[in-house]
Chain A
């Protein structure tokens, strides 16, 4: 599903070079639910962004679904993101002027689905996250947990191969966090690969794989191995 070889990412300013990712090798298989942990500034988000093709990388290679993303044009990368990747952010990142329906529909529009198909998918996604009755609400009318569920609905409406979640419960209280986690697990059981950045040891434990990142380097923890509390 995801395969990266010797991937490095360097942030350059006039004065300093920061190696955000150093020669990372990682393979994520279809159907996995992987948790990515690490202290602040360790490069988790950068890695997630690179995997999501939101950021480019400097060295190495990244194969998504067997295809290298290197040298793809902006248009091709955008299409790739649109079709194969779903994003869930810590800050939900819903468009506040849009209704729930419009928010979820947006990536489907980019995909070029017919309006009937879009409607079917949006409704299905809303049902999955349990918000079907509120399709015409605006994000500001919802609680944080509900907003994140909308974001999840938006991410899965296009039936992506992989879901990238960046601290999806970071802004939520524990009850809501649990609901979101249960939702993600449900989605994973339906066959969607999930890679989730988290600070929460409990959540990391719930994933079926745990990857640690420290100073831009990976430490692939084994399944079910007790978590060593990260610095954060």
Chain B
């Protein structure tokens, strides 16, 4: 049937058509924005971190006795724990640190080049107070200068990530530069520190005295490939055996830490994906029952058309093309809705702008769903016997 005729018949059922169009438009708008958010969440999660996530286990601990949180007891406990973990089969290396990478926030210092505070100051740069094994554990590489060793403990020597060094010193040689936090002796490859720091890839590593562990501390374990499950199962027990007076957190693999960092985004994207699925389902139910109802309601019309020489295929195409046209118009309005919703959502969360191809792709998806749902009732419509349908009651 011609587009013009379908239009006419749609116009004669204004309310039903308006309801249908509204629903299709909102569905398209929502599905597009859900896809966008899902894509953005995926990009966040899959961005390179500079770390070998599957080979790193992390664990937060805190002595339950206040005395053990102070030196010299603290160092003694940490060394005992490190030695015990190092003994475990499958463990490559282990380090302690005041915090672990791949978190939302944590312990930060500002940093600036001595005497150039105004030009170079950077707020919120994560610092890692750790041991010399930290470089090996995290698998970060030396870019220039040297790494820290136990000889640096108690000195003010620091190592920083490449991105931070470039920001502070631009193209100058960073080695030997003096900052408010110490003298730069080395630069290492970037890794994801804290999402909400000045920059996620800024980091400074030092080996200051421990003093106290009021917030507890972290153990980071690097395991041999494929060993993370085995080590993970025994890790808590090994730590407890090394020192029973210890509050021990959950062992997490680094990729689980990463998922935790982006949990809000992943969660919302998943929620919206579920909702989009429901919306498509609702659209399909609607298309189905609309077509089904009309197949009954329009029995007579179909009968007349058949009598006038329309083949079954033609009638099928008629019913389908009405669906397609409605969907296409609804989706057309949906493009407006999808930009509107995008703008509204951008006011509360960060969401990328709508690329042109996405609404079109979604429209195709919607058409596919609607076709699927219309097919069966449309088939029924074609089976109506024209002789019965044209008979007068």
A contact residues vs B (CB 8 Å cutoff): 45, 49, 52, 54-55, 74-75, 77-83, 85, 87, 89-91, 93-95, 97-99, 102, 106-107, 109-111, 154, 158, 170-171
Contact = CB atoms under 8 A, between A and B. Distances in A.
Return the 9 tightest CB-CB contacts between A and B, nearest first. Answer: A82-B309, A91-B392, A78-B311, A107-B308, A49-B387, A81-B309, A54-B387, A97-B9, A75-B311
A50 to B, nearest CB: 9
Contacts of B385: 54-55
Contacts of A75: 311-313
A154 B307 CA distance: 12
Interface of B is mostly: helix
Given A79-B309, A87-B307, A98-B5, 14 more contacts: A45-B387, A45-B391, A54-B306, A54-B390, A78-B306, A81-B308, A81-B309, A85-B309, A87-B308, A91-B393, A95-B304, A97-B9, A98-B8, A109-B1
B392 A154 contact: no
B8 A154 contact: no
B321 to A, nearest CB: 13
B300 A93 contact: yes
Nearest to A89: B390
A120 to B, nearest CB: 18
B301 interface: yes
Assign chain B's interface to a size class.
20 to 34
A78 B5 contact: no
B314 interface: yes
Nearest to B11: A97
Given A49-B387, A110-B314, A102 B8 contact: yes
A99 B313 CA distance: 24
B5 to A, nearest CB: 6
Nearest to B303: A93
A75 B2 CA distance: 19
Nearest to B6: A97
Contacts of B12: 97
Contacts of B8: 97-99, 102
Contacts of B301: 95
A87 B390 contact: yes
Contact of A54 (B311, B386, B392): B386
A106 B312 contact: no
A49 B303 CA distance: 12
Contacts of B391: 45, 91
A171 B391 CA distance: 13
B390 A110 contact: no
Nearest to B4: A102
Contacts of A77: 311
B310 interface: yes
A109 B309 CA distance: 10
A169 B390 CA distance: 15
24 contacts: A45-B387, A54-B307, A54-B386, A54-B387, A54-B390, A55-B385, A74-B313, A77-B311, A78-B309, A79-B309, A81-B309, A83-B309, A87-B390, A91-B391, A91-B393, A93-B304, A97-B8, A102-B8, A106-B305, A107-B309, A109-B2, A111-B309, A170-B392, A171-B392
